[in-house]
Structure 1
Amino acid sequence: MVVTKEAGWVGLSWYDWSDLGEIRARLDSGADPHADLWHEGPPLHLAAEYGSPDVVAELARRVGDVDTPYEGRSALWRAVFAHRRDNALALVAAGADPWRPMTGGWSPGRLSLAGPNPGLFFPFPRDKPSLSEAENAAVVEAERLIEALGDFEYEGLGLVCVAGVTAAEAARRLGATVAEGAGIDGVLDGPYPGERAGLVAATDVPGGCVVSQRRGHEVTSADVINRLSAGTVCYAMFADPKSGNLGYGSRHGVVEERDAYPGGGLVSPDSSSDEVLTAFLYQGEAVAYCCAYVGLRLTDARPVLGPPDIWLHLPPHD
């Protein structure tokens, strides 16, 4: 029989990371505090993101180095990224270093300056870099954009954000015709508004335009987004009721990112500084993420929810 390092952690739920008695009992029974659990990271990293301060403190006491990185990030980095102020303080009390640069060059301490707890590690050391002017501007814009869009239901939505292109130019690139009158009403009144009818909405916004489909993923096809991104960049999302939000980025007519999770707060060891900041600022804000990805500065949700500037009928595309 093969015994894996994960063996002592089998059957653990996400809620158990806040149960000190459960975690302590597993550790006392031989569960490995350094195991890579389900490719999510060591127990301390998971507790930092999903658990409680007392569990974090217990695990920190059992590991050799509280700053051991997993995929380029320490447990403290993950606590800060997940906005877990309580767990971050528990890790610092256990000796974690807030100023060690990690993914994208961001240390946990500098990253905290862009989040809801900018005073977490004050006083800020004079010899450590703070946020740049551009990064501060990105933080301010994220707060403005998220508030401007507000909360709304977008399940089933197909959305494309296009930089530097007007709605009229988007129509031309797609070979679409303007739809008017009864043809629109008949489609929108049906059980699947816009779906299978090639009916999409297009609206000019500061920085470019938004092309959307109330229910359907036609606008997120490679053919559509590559046409729209010629000479520029666009980001598309389909809010799939079964699979969640699926994102697609296209630049200069070529898809460069597919099956991503906009607003999912995902970063990788090779994420750039800007990618880390964007993922951090727009966690749980999929529509705002799509807009920010290409620099659209919406002032409200009308370009997404309607009524749009123009309705378009798409021709058949590959």
Structure 2
Amino acid sequence: MTGRDAGGWAGMDYRGWQDHEDVARRLDAGADPERWGVGGSRPLHRAAVFGSPEVVAELARRVADVDALEDGTTALWDAVVAGRSGNARALAATGADPAWIGPGGWTPGRLSLAGPEPGLFAPAEGLPGLTEAERAVAEEGRRLIAALGDLYYDGTGLACVAGIDAEEAIRRLEATPADDELMAGVLADPYDYDSDETLRLVGVTTVPGGCVVTQPWGYGPSMPGIHTRLSAGTVSYGLYANPKSGNQGSIHRDGVCEGWDLHPGGGPDLEDSPEEVLFSYVYCHQAVAYSLAYAGLRPTDARAVVGPPDHWIELPDRDYWAI
């Protein structure tokens, strides 16, 4: 057998890690608890993110090292980052180490203090808690995520800009008010129009900390030419929730692009600083909140993202892909 069929896991997809009976049957029949597919993937790591606590416990009892690494992290770290508290508890109960030192010097136990269940693990005597600054990041993350609610943003483009209001953004973009009749039609069904007709139509809203430029149906606000103008003397974070390839982010500071094709809400990376690990954990799987928070914006609801905005405007006809 080859590929993902190797090791006795033929036909297993992410939903299969929820099925304890099937996983136990495969293991009893000789499935390899240490290997899933190719490239060093480990069943325990898959189950930690996608599976049930029962499956996690079953696999944890059968592996040689419950803290073995995949892509530089333990299964317990992955469960904590993914917000799978039940799986994290199951791993800890079978010997996984909450004090393992991971990216940015964080441990799974200390990182969990910034998550939705700060009491996930029993406190270890002598280990540090969160600093005041770290606690503030976690608290603001919980507030912002709750304020946005369960919003649908697939296909949305955003520019989140620090320190300027909607009126200043309009001035910098040299935009004009959008035609009311055209906007009524676009809002009724934006996909009934050719993208060339709607790409330069965006909404702008002042929020605490700055402003948001939004286009709920397209990538317009994420184009670099928008950010070079908006970010003069400040910072802007761009997001396009691409329905085909996922969330795409960018950073512009004082008119210069500092990062492109980023993955907001994707979780911490091995090379991240301690501050970046915390921020990425707090906003894991929360791309819109991540983008807003990166620019220091503190909206109290989702209106700046999904509308209606303070202003519907039309951008001048220019090449916004030119930097």
Task: Using structure 1 for the length normalisation, give the TM-score.
Answer: 0.87
User: Are the aligned partners of 1:40 and 1:46 in contact in 2 as well (CA < 8 Å)?
Assistant: no
Q: What residue number does 2:299 align with?
A: 298
Bigger Cα displacement from structure 2, 7-16 vs 157-166: 7-16
Amino acid at match of 1:121: F
Cα distance, 1:257–1:27 mapped onto 2, change above 3 Å: farther
Deviations 1:158-201 (CA, angstroms, capped at 9, x unpaired): 11101122223322332323446556446545644895331111
Per-residue deviation at 1:4? 8.7
Q: Any idea what SS the aligned residue of 1:259 has?
A: strand
Q: Any idea what SS the aligned residue of 1:278 has?
A: helix
User: Are the aligned partners of 1:71 and 1:268 in contact in 2 as well (CA < 8 Å)?
Assistant: no
Cα distance, 1:183–1:82 mapped onto 2, change above 3 Å: closer
Q: What residue number does 1:229 align with?
A: 231
User: Are the aligned partners of 1:162 and 1:234 in contact in 2 as well (CA < 8 Å)?
Assistant: yes
Bigger Cα displacement from structure 2, 96-105 vs 84-93: 84-93
Q: How is 1:69-148 mapped onto 2 (pairs within 5 angstroms)?
A: 69-122=69-122, 124-148=123-147
Per-residue deviation at 1:224? 1.5
Note if 1:247 corresponds to 2:246.
no
Cα distance, 1:191–1:301 mapped onto 2, change above 3 Å: closer
Deviations 1:271-317 (CA, angstroms, capped at 9, x unpaired): 22233223322234332221112110112222223332333221222
Bigger Cα displacement from structure 2, 31-40 vs 168-177: 31-40
Q: 2-side partners of 1:95 and 1:213: how far apart?
A: 48
Q: How is 1:123-272 mapped onto 2 (pairs within 5 angstroms)?
A: 124-179=123-178, 181-182=180-181, 184-185=183-184, 187-188=186-187, 191-192=190-191, 195=195, 196-197=197-198, 198-263=200-265, 265-272=266-273
Q: 1-side partners of 2:145 and 2:219: how far apart?
A: 24
Deviations 1:85-135 (CA, angstroms, capped at 9, x unpaired): 22222222221111122012221111111122211222x223212111111
Cα distance, 1:177–1:46 mapped onto 2, change above 3 Å: same
User: Are the aligned partners of 2:7 and 2:36 in contact in 1 as well (CA < 8 Å)?
Assistant: no
Per-residue deviation at 1:39? 5.2
Cα distance, 1:33–1:262 mapped onto 2, change above 3 Å: same
Per-residue deviation at 1:210? 0.5
Q: 1-side partners of 2:297 and 2:28: how far apart?
A: 53
Unmatched 5+ residue regions in structure 1?
A: none
User: Are the aligned partners of 1:5 and 1:32 in contact in 2 as well (CA < 8 Å)?
Assistant: no
Cα distance, 1:38–1:104 mapped onto 2, change above 3 Å: farther
Q: Any idea what SS the aligned residue of 2:312 has?
A: strand
Q: 2-side partners of 1:144 and 1:134: how far apart?
A: 15
Amino acid at match of 1:98: P
Amino acid at match of 1:249: I
User: Are the aligned partners of 2:67 and 2:97 in contact in 1 as well (CA < 8 Å)?
Assistant: yes
Q: 2-side partners of 1:221 and 1:40: how far apart?
A: 37
Amino acid at match of 1:153: Y
Cα distance, 1:182–1:51 mapped onto 2, change above 3 Å: closer
Deviations 1:6-33 (CA, angstroms, capped at 9, x unpaired): 4432311222223334323433444332
Deviations 1:32-80 (CA, angstroms, capped at 9, x unpaired): 3222645583111111122223322222222222112222321111122
Deviations 1:219-264 (CA, angstroms, capped at 9, x unpaired): 111222233223322112223333343322323333333333433x
Q: 1-side partners of 2:38 and 2:267: how far apart?
A: 16
Q: 1-side partners of 2:56 and 2:241: how far apart?
A: 35
Q: What residue number does 1:8 align with?
A: 8
Cα distance, 1:299–1:191 mapped onto 2, change above 3 Å: closer
Cα distance, 1:52–1:306 mapped onto 2, change above 3 Å: closer
User: Are the aligned partners of 2:7 and 2:37 in contact in 1 as well (CA < 8 Å)?
Assistant: no
Task: Using structure 2 for the length normalisation, give the TM-score.
Answer: 0.86
Per-residue deviation at 1:3? 8.5
Cα distance, 1:172–1:91 mapped onto 2, change above 3 Å: same
Bigger Cα displacement from structure 2, 58-67 vs 3-12: 3-12
Q: 2-side partners of 1:94 and 1:4: how far apart?
A: 27
- Percent identity between matched residues is 52
Unmatched 5+ residue regions in structure 2?
A: none
Q: 2-side partners of 1:153 and 1:209: how far apart?
A: 20
Q: Any idea what SS the aligned residue of 1:237 has?
A: strand
Q: What residue number does 1:311 align with?
A: 312
Per-residue deviation at 1:137? 0.9
Q: 2-side partners of 1:291 and 1:231: how far apart?
A: 18
Q: 2-side partners of 1:142 and 1:272: how far apart?
A: 18
